[in-house]
Amino acid sequence: MKKIIYIFASLLLVSGTGFAQKKNLKRVNKLFEMRAYKDAAEIYETKARNQEVLQNLADSYYYNASLQKAIKTYRELFVQYGDSIDIEYHFRFAQALKGVKEYKEADKHLRRYYNKP
């Protein structure tokens, strides 16, 4: 009987933690939508790095002109999720690269954005 109670309590704890994570992600996504990019970035940094988190974190850095951090995060996004990423991220990545004078790599991503070889 104690084993059943222990298992049940553990399941409640795990499901409660998962619910809190989703609720907290909704909160940070709301900050992002309200263009509170600095605050959103601070919270996204603490989250598990799935595609949505990486996209919003990279964009938060980009919109705050933290170009080095944006570049690092966009690279991580491209490495992990490759072709499943919306083409708009190539454009922002290219702009961030231009901001730090990495023109050759920026041109590569702009060609992809404009669908040129």
* DSSP class per residue in the chain: -HHHHHHHHHHHHHHHHHHHHHHHHHHHHHHHHTT-HHHHHHHHTTS---HHHHHHHHHHHHHTT-HHHHHHHHHHHHHHHGGGS-THHHHHHHHHHHHTT-HHHHHHHHHHHTT--
Q: What is the pLDDT of residue 28?
A: 95
* pLDDT tens-digit series, residues 19-62: 344 558 999 999 999 999 999 999 999 999 999 999 999 999 99
Comparing C-alpha atoms, which of 50, 11, 9 is closest to residue 29?
50
CA distance 42 to 36: 10
Percent pLDDT > 90 in the chain is: 75
Instruction: Reply yes or no on whether the pLDDT at 68 is more than 50.
Output: yes
Structural domains present in the chain = 25-115 (1.25.40.10)
pTM check: above 0.75: yes
